[in-house]
Amino acid sequence: MKKAALYGRVRTPDQHLENQLLDLRKMAAQRGFEVVREYTDKGVSGSKAKRPGLDAMMADARRGEFSVVLVAAFDRIARSTKNFLEVVDELHELRIEFISAREAIDTSGPMGRMFLTVVGSVAELERSLIVERIKAGMRRARLEGQRLGRAPLEIDRDALVRYRLSGMSLTETAKRYRVSRATVVRLVREAAQRHANVAA
């Protein structure tokens, strides 16, 4: 028996979630699914990417708590096409079936698999566009003479290394030179490496 999760959402607190959940429970029973958990968001807009119920469901999905997700309609998951595609694409990556009652989409069937192919393609396109925008922004920044990446540390590295090797603690050294403890470790290691290379 497949383990199923139900997700319901209503926009305003005075709307009733129970109607959605009753229909989803009935659908789960008809298909022989065991409902292991119900997730809900009440009085939360579907345009918000972060929602307590949805976030909890996705966290449990990543832990493999269920293998099927049932919703009343696409717009219960998200109003934004981008957010909806992100959720469905991640469920697909986790090998979790997605079933929407109103749109009659079941990703375990041939039409559902075709739908997932389209979702995956759109999500991939979105990721590619984001990467392209980032690259374009970096090219523009270089042309404008802006520095990319971490700014070089403007400290006396040799003095820092000497201070640390004189017996000062990692924390004291980091505080004195206003850098992280990891930076202190890295600079001391680099200095030791340079010394070893010279000695060789």
Protein fold of 3-125: Rossmann fold (3.40.50)
The model's pLDDT over 89-138, given as tens digits with 9 standing for 90+, comes to 888 889 999 998 887 888 777 777 777 677 656 666 766 778 888 888 88
Alpha helices in 78-109 (DSSP H): 81-93
Q: What is the bridge-based pairing of β-strands 97-100 and 105-106?
A: antiparallel
The secondary structure of 113-125 as a DSSP string is: HHHHHHHHHHHHH
Residue that the structure tokens 């006396």 belong to: 156
Domain-wise residue ranges, the chain:
3-125, 157-199
Q: Give the pLDDT score at 59.
A: 93
The model's pLDDT over 147-160, given as tens digits with 9 standing for 90+, comes to 666 555 678 888 99
